[in-house]
Chains A and B, each alone.
Chain A
Amino acid sequence: MDVFNKWLLPAAAVIVAPSAYATQYLTIEQAQQAIFPGASFTPAFVKITDEQKKQIERRTDVNVRIREQRVWRVSTGGYFIVDEVVGKHEFITYAIGLDAAGAVQQIEVMDYRESYGYEIRNAEWRRQFVGKHAGEKFKLDEDIKNISGATLSCRHITDGVKRVLALYDIALK
């Protein structure tokens, strides 16, 4: 098994990604079935009042951005909750499954989006990448699946989960 000979793609064609990397792992229905297979789900969305927002923020020290939390009651017990977190460059939609006792059973990321605001489509900005290597082309790459390189920490999701658990305590239990 000689893995090393296959390492490098030809450098002649240089492909640069669009400025927003986005990937979807699961739709809501798929996430529901992934966490609670075979169950049925009854919508029980929560409109967060000003008082509840204050309570959650005081308890968790995390900002409440979403004023309507998408919650479903699970037929077999527990709750399925969709939440969103926003970081400096990333936007993540994810699902939390809570068991009948209100403990986190499973978390599944549904959508992951990044945005850096680079002017990829701006010819002026792109010029710094092309013109330095012979034979190179510039294309917009839509098919990024595997990235090696330190990614962002999941601190925002951790904060989100804290916030959702406080909401459960205050509005759902």
Chain B
Amino acid sequence: MTQLSEIRRARPVLGTLVEITARGTSAEQLAEAVNASFTEIQRVHDLMSFHERGSDISRVNRLAHRIPVRVHPWTWRVLLEARNLARKSRGAFNITVADRLVRWGYLPCPISTRAAIRGDWHDVRLLPGHRVRLDRRVLIDLGGIAKGFAVDLAVAALQRHHVQSGLVNAGGDLRGFGSRRHVVHLRHPAYPGVFLPAFELDSGALATSAAYFAQRVWRGRRVAPVVSRTGRPSITATSVTVAARTCMRADALTKVCLLNGSSAARRLGGRAFVLAAEELSPRLLAA
């Protein structure tokens, strides 16, 4: 029985630390696989980052209300998924809430004009030839879905390079594959430096949404980067974890779960778990 090698690497990308664990028979092949995976993740970052001026998303935000903007097929895929989820969640999942995130200080304002943002997710038109058009001005931010998408691509890249089992973790959005079980810990919602063993995962994805690092005060009000359908910040002292088959879906469904409840997330392929501040293990939220 060949002994398996394992490598673990972390790099800053997608605005967070991305960690890749990979197991296989050849250390050299593992290094190559991990490099290839990080290259794909970097590509997602370059295409979909709200902060990079040259990204597809920045070009759409600046120009697509005037002319259609052609985007990379990956960006297209994510926008398509975002639109489907927006429709099925009646707007709970919404990539056009960036204007509020800008106002509350979570994102820098990317457009030089103070033009009013009047549009909504309905105004994002996906045209043939991977082109995007905005009927009215909106600010798109893929922060709630792009990390999950990048994780899925990274896992596929590792598998193409014959990695037998592993896990990709992008700032807490993670996906495992292969036959090895991974123990996943959650941060305690009130004490983020305390870790609770919560799940055993072999293949599948988890994404967790919690406010411990993200809550801030804006004009005397507490805000958080999760926006309800009425445009208000969703403040919660719990940690919500969604399990799904893909990380893109798990990532997006944490927002749906926070705003619409666990049955809404379940209808879209996710299982939701909540970890309350006074509990020590997460509870499955059944319908």
* Chain A residues with a Cβ under 8 A of chain B: 1, 3-4, 6-9, 11, 14-17, 19, 21, 25-26, 34, 37, 89, 94, 106-109, 112, 114-118, 120, 129, 132-133, 136, 141, 143-154, 157-158
Contacts and interface: CB of A to CB of B under 8 A. Distances in A.
A26 B241 CA distance: 30
Given A9-B200, A148-B186, A157 B10 contact: no
B8 to A, nearest CB: 6
Contact of B9 (A17, A108, A154): A108
B193 A146 contact: no
Nearest to B214: A150
A5 B35 CA distance: 33
B243 A118 contact: no
Given A9-B281, A21-B195, A150-B209, 4 more contacts: A8-B199, A16-B196, A109-B10, A153-B16
B105 to A, nearest CB: 13
Residue of A17, A21, A118, A146 contacting most chain B CB atoms (<10 Å): A146
A1 B31 CA distance: 29
Interface residues of B, number: 58
B54 to A, nearest CB: 16
Given A25-B9, A141-B195, A147 B169 contact: yes
Contact of A154 (B12, B172, B176, B182): B12
Contact of B202 (A3, A25, A107, A153): A3
B169 A146 contact: yes
Contacts of B206: 148
A14 B280 contact: yes
B185 A17 contact: yes
B21 interface: yes
29 contacts: A3-B203, A6-B200, A14-B196, A16-B196, A16-B280, A17-B193, A25-B10, A94-B12, A106-B11, A108-B10, A108-B11, A109-B9, A109-B10, A118-B193, A132-B278, A133-B280, A144-B185, A144-B195, A146-B169, A146-B182, A147-B169, A147-B186, A148-B173, A148-B208, A149-B239, A150-B210, A150-B212, A153-B16, A154-B13
B281 A109 contact: no
B97 to A, nearest CB: 17
A82 to B, nearest CB: 15
A14 B281 contact: yes
A65 B151 CA distance: 34
A152 B187 CA distance: 12
Contact of B194 (A17, A146, A152, A153): A17
